[in-house]
Amino acid sequence: MEVERVQAIASLSLTTDTIPAEFIRPEKEQPAITTFRGPVPEIPTIDLSDPDQENLVRSIANASKEWGIFQVVNHGVPTDVITKLQAVGKEFFELPPEEKEVYAKIPGSQSIEGYGTQLQKDIDGKKPWVDHLFHKIWPPSTINYRFWPKNPPSYRDANEVYAKYIREVADKLFTSLSLGLGVEGHALKEGAGGEDIVYMLKINYYPPCPRPDLALGVVAHTDFSALTILVPNEVPGLQVLKDDHWIDAPYIPNAMIVHIGDQIEILSNGIYRSVLHRSTVDKGKARMSWPVFLEPPGEFVVGPLPQLVNEEDPPKYKAKKFKDYAYCKLNKLPQ
């Protein structure tokens, strides 16, 4: 079955100033109606190079309890490494459709890897205004290069270099998050899969949209990863739900955005919270983002850390294999 890509629909829609009905969100989701325009608190920005370790741990823990999201600066990933990652991803999405389709998701596959459009079931039959490319970037044993574009030729190198640096950022975050819970620094990383944690890169491509007031790039969701570390392009669009208001995440050049995912909420027994977020789209420019989802291996069982559970604080979540958690979430089944 031929899948219609949003990029193709977008190029047809730009001349008409309308979008197909399946992209028009219900009023309760439309960004023009639901985005909060009043004074808003700022999503925390944290300097990862802070020499005061206690202050860094406290800042990350507070942001993860109160927001479930924060931006990090001075994170140690060189600017040119991020620039190259973004350049090769943009080049891929600018290729002719038939070249991108070589990397299409395999129909009927259990894996989400590959070039595609719709990911989750939508109860109302609505569609998000986004195309994407998924592939793993670490550990080497999990990588399937079939889904890594060969064009541009520098794609592989740019992603391998980025993978090296992002693992260092992730380790620093896991350590601070663990210490912020009062447990040993290695506890959360080990609880999420240790050295076997899978780094799944996704490139989101949100084409220009004639009616950004009516559509969403990605609907409201929490990530089922442990952590998500994301770099966006300069077109804003990420929104987070805070105190029942949808608020815009500001674009900070060279910052990385960190989302607490469902698995860290579970491991922390609800002390840290997975952030509900969505993505809006832009009328004049393509928005792009490069999230890396840090996920446990499929067979790995995740549950609240034993150190955080006692008679006064019983477990709030069931321990289960990550693949079972992901299946239930993707198919909108109870956990």
121 included as an active-site residue: no
DSSP symbols for 254-284: T-EEEEE-HHHHHHTTTSS-PPPEEE---SS
* CB-based contacts of 27, cutoff 8 Å, min separation 6: 33
Cα separation, 258 vs 71, whole angstroms: 6
For the beta sheet containing 227-232, the strands, ordered from the edge strand earlier in sequence to the opposite edge, are: 45-47, 69-73, 256-260, 227-232, 287-295, 198-206, 131-138, 114-116
75 included as an active-site residue: no
Residue among 223, 242, 259, 262 flagged as catalytic: 223
Q: What are the C-alpha distances in Å from 238 to residues 192, 232, 294, 329?
A: 26, 9, 19, 21
Supply angle C-alpha 70, 320, 273, rounded to 5.
20
259 included as an active-site residue: no
Residue among 202, 242, 259, 262 flagged as catalytic: 202
186 included as an active-site residue: no
DSSP conformational letter for 35: B
Residue among 84, 136, 189, 277 flagged as catalytic: 277
Rg (alpha carbons) of the chain, rounded to whole number: 19
Going 145 to 147 to 153 to 155, the CA torsion angle's sign is negative
Residue among 90, 126, 172, 221 flagged as catalytic: 221
Cα separation, 109 vs 106, whole angstroms: 5
- Residues marked active site are found at 202, 221, 223, 277
